[in-house]
Amino acid sequence: MNASPNGAILSAAGIHKRFGALVVLDDVDFAMGADEAVGIVGPNGAGKTTLLSVLSGAYPPSAGTIAFKGGDVTALPATQRCRLGLVRTHQVPKPFGGMTAFENVFVAASHGAGLGRDEAYEEALASLKLCGMLGVANRRAETLGLLDRKRLELARALAAKPTLLLLDEIGGGLTDGEAGELVETIRELRRRQIGIVWIEHIVHILLQVAERLICMDAGRIIADGDPQAVMADPQVIGAYLGGGPK
């Protein structure tokens, strides 16, 4: 199958991922346009994070191909995909310990985006500001609480100057006010024409931004399309053991 359908900024075809005998991704096809905001939901263990890891280059797929901006990136390491503009956040934040929040974001701007020193400095400050983190910029990353570590993940990803941003559960545990701020930040990214793939269990936050929703279950995409239609899909409701996504 062609991994780069016309008009898609990112496309993945026939993706399988196994960890030993465990099949985690089972023949996933996915394609999206540059201007899309796509939400991904699915029960725990469905393979959502693994899909993001395969798309971003953290793991090679066991089979299948991935294209970004018209080129085959299947064999490219994550750092090179990042330079091309394909950037992810981690479900479990992974800041560099021993560095301040600012230094973490500066490294992303200089190494992730390849910016020179002055530009990286400005980009790092702008990203921290956008994520409401200027007040903790000089705190060491490991001393930050979970909420700020998640914000730092987002600030780092932004400083790498993404064209397409892959977000993995950045909204969990937020108060209503904090969730509102996060939605505003993501809307600002949309205004800047950054494409978004956002995995989130808290669907009412996701639906404020996503124009298209994908549901995964047991390593497969079981529904893909209009968010309301996906939420009402009996297979999606069934995947959540009758409860439906929240």
Per rule CB under 5 A, is residue 49 in the interface with Mg ion?
yes
Cα–Cα distance, 179 to 60 (Å, whole number): 33
**Sole residue written with tokens 């699915």:** 42
Pick one of Mg ion, ligand ATP, none as the site partner of residue 24 (Cβ within 5 to 8 A by kind): ligand ATP
Sign of CA dihedral 154, 170, 25, 226: negative
Q: Stretches 30-38, 45-53, 56-64, 138-146: which one binds Mg ion (CB under 5 A)?
A: 45-53
Residues 6+ apart with CB under 8 A from 155: 101, 105, 108, 127, 128, 130, 131, 133
- The nearest distance, CB 212 to ligand ATP, in angstroms, is 18
In Å, how far are 62, 116, 118, 218 from 112, measured between CA atoms?
26, 11, 15, 32
Q: Stretches 3-11, 86-94, 142-150, 234-242: which one binds Mg ion (CB under 5 A)?
A: 86-94
**Sole residue written with tokens 């790092």:** 124
- The nearest distance, CB 121 to Mg ion, in angstroms, is 33
Per rule CB under 6 A, is residue 19 in the interface with ligand ATP?
yes
- The nearest distance, CB 44 to Mg ion, in angstroms, is 8
Nearer to Mg ion, 139 or 201 (CB): 201
159 secondary structure, DSSP code? H
Pick one of ligand ATP, Mg ion, none as the site partner of residue 46 (Cβ within 5 to 8 A by kind): ligand ATP
Q: Which residues bind ligand ATP (CB under 6 A)?
A: 19, 22, 24, 42, 44-50, 91
